[in-house]
């Protein structure tokens, strides 16, 4: 199946992103972002498309794609729950946050719920130690959290599509 991008995305890539860089291959990260924004993840075809327009070996694009954890290579749920597990969050109780997600949704880290509503991932530093333990839901950071707050958040996300129980932090 041929890879498709909207006309707007193609225009941004060709007229804004690539010309911004002195070397074409330097546009790899923003092009991957553009693809992920439109498709929700970067498929094999999206990777090959990136290699072709940047005139790079597919292995180079694959190396970049697999190095950065911010890129998804498979479809994920509507709500991507990323729980920080580094030192600050560990000390402040991230294991209890992760366990609450496992118990409530019934999935392990790296899995997506059958209804495709939630994807749960334990990750390294999300650069929000001041709100430990914390969790990122899609692009929003929440914390400090308790298992009780996470329990309510998950219900709110499932029922209303947004979380209000926890403090959203920039």
Per-residue tens of pLDDT for the chain, all 170 residues: 688 999 999 999 999 999 999 999 999 999 999 999 999 899 999 999 999 999 999 999 999 998 887 899 999 999 999 999 999 899 999 999 999 999 999 999 999 999 999 999 999 888 899 999 999 999 899 999 999 999 999 999 999 888 876 767 65
Q: Would you mind telling me the total number of residues written for the chain in this entry? A: 170
In this predicted model, what pLDDT tens digit does every residue of 27-64 receive, in sequence order?
999 999 999 999 989 999 999 999 999 999 999 999 99
Domains and CATH numbers, the chain: 7-67 (1.10.10), 79-169 (3.40.30.10)
**CB-CB contact of 97 with 83 (8 Å):** yes
The answer to whether residues 168 and 140 touch, using CB atoms and an 8 Å cutoff, is: yes
Among 45, 42, 19, smallest CA distance to 32 is for 42
Half-sphere exposure of 3 (CA within 13 A, CB side): 19
**Angstrom distances, CA of residue 156 to CA of 36, 138, 150, 160, 164:** 26, 15, 10, 5, 7
Distance CA 170, CA 150 (A): 18
* Rounded distance between C-alpha atoms, residue 76 and residue 64, angstroms: 20
| pLDDT in the model for residue 134 | 94
User: In this structure, are residues 154 and 101 in contact, taking their beta carbons and an 8 Å threshold?
Assistant: yes
Can you read off the two tokens belonging to residue 88?
């600050």
Angle between helices 44-54 and 28-39 (to 10 degrees): 150
In what helix (H) or strand (E) does residue 34 lie, and over which residues does it extend? helix 28-39
């Amino acid at each position: 199946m041929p890879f498709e991008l909207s006309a707007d995305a193609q225009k941004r890539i060709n007229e804004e992103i690539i010309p911004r860089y002195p070397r074409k291959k330097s546009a790899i990260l923003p092009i991957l972002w553009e693809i992920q924004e439109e498709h929700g993840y970067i498929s094999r075809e999206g990777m090959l498309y990136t290699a072709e327009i940047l005139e790079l070996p597919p292995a180079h694009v694959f190396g970049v794609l697999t190095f950065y954890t911010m890129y998804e290579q498979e479809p994920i749920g509507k709500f991507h729950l990323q729980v920080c597990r580094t030192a600050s969050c560990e000390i402040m109780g991230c294991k209890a946050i992760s366990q609450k997600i496992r118990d409530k949704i019934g999935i392990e880290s790296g899995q997506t719920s059958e209804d495709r509503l939630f994807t749960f991932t334990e990750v390294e530093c999300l650069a929000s130690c001041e709100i430990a333990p914390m969790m990122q839901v899609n692009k929003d950071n929440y914390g400090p959290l308790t298992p009780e707050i996470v329990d309510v958040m998950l219900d709110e996300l499932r029922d209303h599509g947004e979380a209000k129980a926890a403090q959203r932090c920039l």
